[in-house]
Structure 1
């Protein structure tokens, strides 16, 4: 799993060392050499586990999908963000941390009460 791009759908083969990486930043962290830039890119789909090549000079809208399983691999990258959350005990033991989204209805509040409408209407 890539720690730089949360929704990575493909792995990329680096043309310089012929190793598979999730993104260019993963290659930079794990290698002692810069990434060799190339127009011919080799991908491995994470859904069907099959490899395919794409020429980035002739990249069209139909090239955003895996040719084997039609997995859409060109997505907006989601980067991890720091967040502060409260951790509690196991909710099966103590459910006080859970918020109940249901709303209690205390009955209809109306000037017309349906229960005794026959008496009021005559």
Structure 2
């Protein structure tokens, strides 16, 4: 599974080290040498698991499909994007993640304190 291209449809065979990779960046991370360029590339379709070769110097629009299962492997790559957000349920259903910023009223009410604003404690 490639971490650079989320929807990779084929694996490529590196002509320099003869190993299979999902993308050129995966080759660069695991090897110390650069990826060699060649006119003929070998692929493995991830849908039907069959290998095939394509001549890149004579590449046409019809070559964008696997010759065995017609899987369209030349598509726009989906790369992972960083997203900042809060993971959790709907706050209307589960509100444990919400903070209550309301100020609590003081509970030091007494019959002996005289407060001109609050005369409800006064007897008589």
Q: Same fold (TM over 0.5)?
A: yes
Deviation at 1:84, TM superposition (A): 1.8
Report Cα offsets for 1:22-75 as digits up to 9, x if no partner. Answer: 000100000011111101000000000000000011111110000000000000
Report Cα offsets for 1:66-87 as digits up to 9, x if no partner. Answer: 0000000000111111012322
1:117 matched to which residue of 2? none
2:93 matched to which residue of 1? 96
What is the SS of the residue equivalent to 2:84?
coil
What is the SS of the residue equivalent to 2:43?
strand
1:7 matched to which residue of 2? 7
- Gaps in structure 1 of 5+ consecutive residues: 98-122
TM-score (normalised: structure 2): 0.71
- Gaps in structure 2 of 5+ consecutive residues: 95-124
Deviation at 1:95, TM superposition (A): 8.0
Counterpart-to-counterpart distance in 2, 1:10 and 1:96: 43
TM-score (normalised: structure 1): 0.72
Deviation at 1:7, TM superposition (A): 0.9
Aligned residues: 94
RMSD of aligned residue pairs (Cα, Å): 1.8
Counterpart-to-counterpart distance in 2, 1:9 and 1:43: 10
Q: How does 1:1-122 map to 2 (within 5 A)?
A: 1-88=1-88, 96=93
Distance 1:95 1:10, change over 3 A: farther
